[in-house]
Amino acid sequence: MESLYSKEITVLGIGNTILSDEGFGVKVVEHLKKNYDFPENVALIDGGTLGVELQHFIVGTKKLLIIDSIDGGVEAGKIFHLRGDEILKHFAQKISAHEIGIQDILTMLEITDKKIPVVELIGAQPYRLDAGTELTPEMKKLVPIFAEKVLEILKSWQ
């Protein structure tokens, strides 16, 4: 299946925006859309909690950058940057619907010879994951830092 939505480069923010810091990836993409202009070949996608439905947005992309809160069992605020096989290992340990969906999509694309050549994931250990539509103040401070990290990665790709 070829996507009607995919661009050469896709920046995908995922997370549940009603579980405080779990919505981090979505908030970073919202910040990017509001504050920066991107070339035609870059898609900014708010993936929210979509699961396998995300394939419609990423099939055919050549470079995928995923932004997510990452519960690595470490101190809150720790920053992660995963590449390639590290990403599948990360998602293999997750149980939330959107993360299972991403793992399934990446695996499906690999099996069907439509593997995305470059995949990276950046994220931060959440401070809180309880009910709430706002990020914690500490996590909010990371949003512009991650926006700059996205720009750095995109520049390194082009």
Picking from 27, 43, 53, 10, the residue whose alpha carbon sits closest to that of residue 143 is 27
Q: What is the pLDDT of residues 57-115, one digit of tens each?
A: 888 899 999 999 888 889 999 999 999 878 877 666 554 544 556 777 777 777 777 78
pLDDT value, residue 2: 46
Rounded to an integer, the average pLDDT of 133-145 is 97
Whole-Å CA distances, 56 to 61, 102, 149: 10, 12, 26
pLDDT value, residue 5: 59
Asked whether the predicted pLDDT for residue 41 surpasses 50, the reply is yes
Picking from 93, 123, 119, the residue whose alpha carbon sits closest to that of residue 105 is 119
